[in-house]
Chain A
Amino acid sequence: MYELIAQFPFVAAMVALVSLGAVFGALLGFAAEKFKTEGNPIVDQINEVLPQTQCGQCGFPGCRPYAEAIAGGEAINRCPPGGEAGIAALADLLDLEIIPLDDEHGEEKELSVVAHIREDECIGCTKCIQACPVDAILGAAKHMHTVIVSECTGCDLCVEPCPVDCIDLLSEEITLKTWHWDLPTSDVIASDRDASAQEQAA
């Protein structure tokens, strides 16, 4: 054996390399079949980052379609509910530049809102129920409808179809449960101390 290798070093090297290649190739091929991922995994990751309001302001019918579009190269700044933070998260995930929100698709809202139906004006047309992407509106034909606040994403898709304009988007009221301390306001430098003391006195 040893002699054989010594006699035909070139052939021996060829045989060794080819057999190595064949073994690893088979292994890789097997692994590719065995651990195959269905669909594009990046879409799921993008979808996780999106706010899931399903509002369609990005121009796609829901968050997942937009996630798919982003995976296909669409701009990441078309989601107003996600806002700057959402863009930053997407940029981080996809290793892209952070770009400002595209105004064309709407503006970022400060507070979260929920839809509210003025119930005595509702005529029970069920149009908003059909429009709601998360089934957050309860009601039946010719019966008053109401919004299940805990399910509403504030996407405002129900506002447009309402024939009597009885749906408002209201910001959630601050209650004892939702109230919290704010971050301290900007620092004052020592020379501003007197000014701030005067302010406090006033």
Chain B
Amino acid sequence: MRKIWDFHGGVHPAENKLQSLQCDISSAGIPPQLTFPLSQHIGAPAEPIVEVGEKVRKGQKIAEARGFISVPVHASTSGTISAIEDRLIAHASGLSAPCIVLDSDGQDEWISHQGTEDYSKLEKAELLKIIRDAGIAGMGGAGFPTAVKLAVNPDAHKIQTLIINGTECEPYITADDVLMRERAADIIAGAEILRHILNPDEVLIGVEDNKGAAAAALKGAVRNSGSSVEIVTFPTKYPSGGEKQLIEILTGKQVPSGGLPSELGIVCQNVGSVVAIYRAVVHGEPLISRITTVTGAAVAQAQNFEVLLGSPMSYLLQLAGFQPERCARLVMGGPMMGFTVADHEVPVVKTTNCLLAPTAEELPAPDPAQACIRCGLCAEACPASLLPQQLYWFARSREYEKLAAHNLFDCIECGACSYACPSHIPLVQYYRAGKAEVTQMRHDQAKSEHSRTRFEARQERLERDAAAKEAQRAARKQAAEERARQAASEGQEDADPIQAAIERAQAKKAASQASVDGEAGPKTETSQAADTEQAATTQADTAQPDAAQPDAAQLAIERARAARAESAEQSPLEKANSKLQRLQERQAKSEAKLQQSREDGAAENIIEALESALEKLAPKIAAAEQELKALQEESEG
């Protein structure tokens, strides 16, 4: 007889399991419409690979896994895709999420599929791929992708113990119980597949002692198959089905805070997942149905259904003889960890182990919370050995650092503390909110850190750019001085220095526009005059040191102003004409200037600027010609 350990805390709520154990699993049949949320698991949502109007068959993949921690979604019956849109899903928030909607055709026609005859010939990676492609995510309630959980690195952690979780400790729920009773052979076969993948020293199936029939059925199946899987029964206590709690019960080891069971050489899988793995590997069937308990006093016949994933909850409730007038609220999951579903039309998903439709007397609304009397019952009940009372005070006063320091994230939200609390304080709700706030705080801190680095990087870049510009300016200035000296020493009379300054400014402006604007549109007359003025003003700042006369730039500005005033008085035709003329003059001047610069052997950047200015002028002249021609035609016509 194996030694059984106990875990700290735990409570003994009324079991209420007998109601739904009166009959065998019955098939729920095919509802007219099914809805498949793209995210039925923990991790990235799947991505649709079908289109609206497409006909799909049972078992066909309709959404592909995206990312490592993700699983695909399959159609659970044949029919036509009628929509891919946001629909209400079973979530405590009552929010909508992207779903694929399928109108069933009633044929229930399978896509061709094929199992593996001898899985023992397959590599571990191939089996994991089959499991992932079958869309299997933990069916006990959390929905963590099974293939990811099984993909432990054998070099890092040798798996000693594989634990199959048949505990099902939460009141009312009997889905795993009936599964073990009726499909014990499948569970054992699935466990053998897992044994092949993980190669553990021992395989245990943990069952609470309130499920005698299930344990007996499993033992019978083990005898029949000659397997060495060990069935371990232990005293009933809530929440012994929690992964960490079950591990402690069966092995006496505690999973460290923030750690994973695989670090202790343990892997835990729910019996539902094990059956799904068996069906995927041996029969080639993806996960398209599950066992769901429909129970509570508001249904006429509480029982377990094998239900197609995606079936509306209302459809399932109807099969069980739902009496809506008696139902206080519809809960997905059990009374301890379940949540109220806002709408009865939401679909059954991979994690829907139970639909609880209680009457108001059966599951009354929680009493108003009263003051904490510091009795400490919550700490006695906590299966994670936390200090619920302390966490409660910290959550209330929003001391998130302290919450994290008191290991809030080890809380499994089992509700044992709330159950034990004589003041009816909704403790778990405080912890859930606290967890969210701590997560948010960490996220904000990370973001602020990220923003800081980005800000500093930008600041650095701007400084670098400014320094580079300054260096360039200094180089230009030096070159200009060099040229002036050269000109002076050679005694050459250069062209009008002011004209040259304006020329240079224009060339610079054209070059900078070419680089900043890409293709600038044609400019209006006035704006060009303004440009000249601006260029001259700019030049006035920079030209001062190298131009001999300080007020030369001022003259240029005045000239530009005069040109603008003049152009305002001209007719459009005259304007266009003078514009063309001016442009042509400019081109000629620029060409001459370029020629001279080349002969003088001026700095490369000056020649480049002049060249680009010339290039820039050509389309402008063409545009001006076009304009002039159009205007002439207009005036003639």
Contact = CB atoms under 8 A, between A and B. Distances in A.
Interface of A: 47, 50-54, 62-64, 133-136, 141-142, 151, 153, 174-176, 179-184, 187-190, 192-193, 196-197, 200
A141 B451 contact: no
A184 B455 contact: no
B113 interface: no
Interface of B: 39, 91-93, 95, 97, 365, 367-371, 395-396, 426, 429-430, 432-437, 439-440, 444, 447-452, 454-459, 516-518
Contacts of B367: 193
Contacts of A51: 444, 448
Nearest to B428: A181
A183 B396 contact: yes
A53 B39 contact: no
Given A183-B434, A188-B368, 16 more contacts: A51-B444, A52-B451, A53-B448, A64-B452, A64-B456, A133-B458, A134-B451, A141-B516, A141-B518, A176-B39, A179-B93, A179-B95, A181-B433, A182-B433, A183-B395, A184-B433
A142 B517 contact: yes
Given A181-B436, A189-B370, A52 B452 contact: yes
29 contacts: A50-B448, A51-B448, A52-B448, A52-B449, A53-B451, A54-B451, A63-B452, A64-B455, A134-B451, A134-B455, A141-B516, A151-B451, A153-B447, A174-B93, A175-B95, A179-B91, A180-B436, A180-B437, A181-B436, A183-B395, A183-B429, A184-B430, A187-B371, A188-B368, A189-B370, A193-B367, A196-B368, A197-B365, A200-B365
Among A135, A153, A175, A180: residue with most chain B CB under 10 A: A180
Nearest to A155: B451
Given A179-B95, A187-B371, A135 B454 contact: yes
Contacts of A174: 93, 95
Given A54-B451, A153-B451, A184 B426 contact: yes
A176 B349 CA distance: 16
B87 to A, nearest CB: 12
Main secondary structure of the interface of B (DSSP, over half): helix
Contacts of B448: 50-53
Nearest to A189: B370
Nearest to A54: B455
B421 to A, nearest CB: 12
B197 to A, nearest CB: 31
Nearest to B413: A181
Given A51-B448, A52-B455, A176-B97, A187 B92 contact: no
Given A141-B517, A176-B97, A179-B95, A184 B369 contact: yes
A196 B426 CA distance: 15
Given A141-B518, A179-B95, A187 B455 contact: no
A190 B436 CA distance: 29
Contacts of B444: 51
A195 to B, nearest CB: 9
A176 B95 contact: yes
A135 B454 CA distance: 7
Contacts of B450: 151
Contact of B368 (A151, A153, A193): A193
A181 B451 contact: no
